[in-house]
Amino acid sequence: MKTILLIYLISLSTLFSSPLKEYPEPIFNIEEPPIPTKEFGKYDLSQHDIQFLSSTASKNAREGKLDLAIQFQYWAHQVNKNDGLYELACYYSLNKNIDAAVYYLQKAAISEGTFYDFVIDDEDLIPVMNSKYWEQLRPWLKK
């Protein structure tokens, strides 16, 4: 009975998981943006925890200090590679670096997943929506 239950659970888990080969390829081949420096004054951002880095990034974004928001968010993502790309895309978008925003939005969609309805309503991404990329990016994100 345990064997049957185990086989059932394994088959059920494979039913709801997507193999890596089914993830979409990025629609735009954009060069990776330059890596922000890990130095902030006398501090090495790569040595800080994700909570500090992401909350500092968010605070800087609210204050309009977008270069700092990008720097802190980039290093927050380095702490946890499964999170933080969407926020990075938003900060680049607000900073009017559309190529970088699209680069990270594509990476976020592939590795973290994005909710299409949330993306469409996200005011941080308005510069991306007004860009040359949006006509092709929108249906790709919906997929």
pLDDT along the chain (143 residues), means of 10: 44 46 81 97 95 97 98 96 94 98 96 90 98 96 89
> Is the model's pTM score more than 0.85?
no
Determine the 3-state secondary structure of 40 from DSSP. Answer: strand
Spatial neighbors of 35 by CB under 8 A, at least 6 apart, are 74
